[in-house]
Amino acid sequence: MSEIVQVVLYSFASGATVILGVVLARLKALPVGRFSDGISHGVIAFGGGLLVAAVAFMLAPKGIQELSLPALVLAFLLGVICALSLDRFVSRRGGKTAQLMAMLLDFIPEAIALGAIFAVDRQAGLKLAVFIGLQNLPESYNSFSDLIASGFSPGKASLILIPFSLIGVAGALTGYLLLAQQQQLVAGLLVFAAGAILYLVFQDIAPMARLKNHWAPATGATLGFMLGMIIEKLLGA
């Protein structure tokens, strides 16, 4: 199997979990009441834990390794500023799209980086693909609920989210074909995503996950981070 075919397959697999998240969100065959609230908040927290794990084990280490200190700080702050600006824009409109913002701000640069990294380090590319795929499942599940709460119909919400699976393939091919020799730029994209992710986790996702007198959110967050450690242990270079 050629390397470019592997890039397409890995990036599609990592994006396909968006479709699975949408399907699960549309089914929502969950019990009603307090138990249902716990599951919903637990899924949000699990996604937050995975995002923090991705920052800790994949995004930040690559940037620290490849970038000078000024470039590292600049890329990180640009991610924070971008997330802050989008957050303020969404808040003024009154929408509930924190998870969708998180997907936009991490999935696209991560997908580009996936292709570029795969060209020089297949193991690191595989690890990033696994992180992306696992992040996308709870993010798409929760994004669907966010969009419904913002007034979108289930059909329109699905149409917004499902194309993400193909966007990931396009991004990965772009990275593979154009950026394989630009590893510092790739590292900058990952650090940009790290800054945006951390802003959104602490500004939007963590507060949404909290549920008074319930164990599911904190447990979900720690399990998400633990899964990230397992991936790092199994696939870390």
pTM of the model: 0.79
Position 143 scores a pLDDT of 82
Percent of the chain with pLDDT over 90: 19
Q: Whole-angstrom Cα distance, residue 16 to residue 179?
A: 24
> Which range in 7-21, 191-205, 213-227 is most confidently predicted, on average pLDDT?
7-21
Position 94 scores a pLDDT of 59
Contact 142, 44 (CB under 8 A): yes
Position 33 scores a pLDDT of 41
**Which residue spans within the chain are E strands per DSSP?**
none
Q: Which among 3, 20, 26 has a CA at the least distance from the CA of 156?
A: 26
End-to-end Cα spacing for the chain: 22
User: Who's near 32: CB < 8 A, 6+ residues apart?
Assistant: none
Position 99 scores a pLDDT of 62
Summarize pLDDT for 27-83 with one digit per residue, the tens: 764 444 444 556 667 777 787 888 888 888 888 998 999 999 999 999 999 999 988
Summarize pLDDT for 199-235 with one digit per residue, the tens: 888 876 666 656 665 667 778 788 888 888 888 888 8
Domain tally for the chain? 1
Position 34 scores a pLDDT of 44
Q: Whole-angstrom Cα distance, residue 8 to residue 125?
A: 12
Residue 100 has pLDDT above 80, yes or no: no
Q: What is the CB-side half-sphere exposure of residue 125 using CA atoms within 13 A? A: 28
Domain membership of residue 58 as a residue range = 3-235
Q: Whole-angstrom Cα distance, residue 52 to residue 43?
A: 14
Q: What is the CB-side half-sphere exposure of residue 21 using CA atoms within 13 A? A: 34
